Amino acid sequence: MANQQLTHRAYTVIKREGQEDFWLAIGAAFAHQDGDGFNIVLQALPIDGKIVLRQPKEDQPDEPPQGRARNNKPRLQRG
């Protein structure tokens, strides 16, 4: 997959009462060279079984889709 181009980001959407939905990035999709399929690489699996694939925005390649909540909690570091 070293020469494959990232074409989509994979998200799971978590519904929250009284708040915006939370889009959690869980992986990415890479187009096959012949254009007839994708390799999907996931770092996690959604609880509800639904995966949303979205094309990344050039100006914000690591951000969830526009207008969606984002988790800004710092990551835990193990020492």
User: Which range of residues forms the domain containing residue 44?
Assistant: 6-54
Report yes or no on 74 lying in a domain.
no
pLDDT tens, residue order, the chain (79 aa) = 556 789 999 999 999 999 999 999 999 999 999 989 999 999 999 999 999 999 998 765 555 554 545 444 444 545 5
Please state, in angstroms and rounded to a whole number, the distance separating the CA atoms of residues 70 and 68: 7
How many structural domains is the chain composed of? 1
Which residue spans within 1-79 are E strands per DSSP?
6-14, 22-31, 38-42, 52-54
Report yes or no on 66 lying in a domain.
no
Report yes or no on 22 lying in a domain.
yes
Neighbour-count burial of 16, counting CB atoms closer than 10 A to its CB (0-12 exposed, 13-18 middle, 19+ buried):
exposed
